[in-house]
Amino acid sequence: MIKYSLTALTLLATPALAQDRPAFGGPYAGAIAGYDHVILSDGTDSASKDGLAYGAVIGYDAALGRGVIGVEGEISGSTAKERAQDVFATGDTVNLHAARDLYAGIRGGFLVTPDSLVYVKGGYVNGRANVSYTLGGTTTTSGSSVDGWRVGAGIEQAFGVFKARLEYRYSDYGRFSYAGTNLGIDAKRHQVVAGLFANF
């Protein structure tokens, strides 16, 4: 009899403990996908390309009353690419293809309801591009990484252990180089992404 009573108490206590955990507290992980708009400029002319952004996110939130503060890391990619001609010499061609993107930063928000969070974020970003250079029928390739910063804002809705997010972010990478030579091309991007996450 005592054994059955202890089992029943355990089953009743388990969902109660799950409900006591804040919707925006503790570790989480998930995936994002959305619109990527990359802008390249040489100081005189500029061009922009659209693509699909996709990636994975891991983070940790701490609930402070109706406030939430946390840290987040992300690795993502994009289908965006750009082509420029006559960059170093007449008749040459430079192709830039957005590769992996790394982000690490913090975010802070406010609970408008117990399950709805509005937030802002910011931090360090490192973007990599695959670069190919063609001149006189000869093509060489190289990878180039640049450091920059990112800011963003969004809204997140909790559904039990799952959370859905809609977010806008802006990233500034400074200038790309090719084989140690500054290309003189500034890179910036605007993104609108949706995400699905799970607490663990």
d(C-alpha 108, C-alpha 167), whole Å:
13
Binning the chain into helix, strand and coil, the percentages to the nearest 5 are: 10, 75, 15
Per-residue pLDDT of the chain (200 residues; tens, 9 = 90+): 444 444 444 444 444 444 556 789 999 999 999 999 998 787 777 778 899 999 999 999 999 999 999 999 999 999 988 777 887 788 888 777 888 999 999 999 999 999 999 999 999 999 988 878 888 888 877 777 889 999 999 999 999 999 999 999 999 998 766 556 666 778 899 999 999 999 99
d(C-alpha 91, C-alpha 97), whole Å:
20
Domain residue ranges in the chain: 24-199
User: Per CATH, which fold does 24-199 belong to?
Assistant: Porin (2.40.160)
165: number of CA atoms within 13 Å, CB side? 28
Nearest to 119, CA basis, from 86, 90, 156, 82: 156
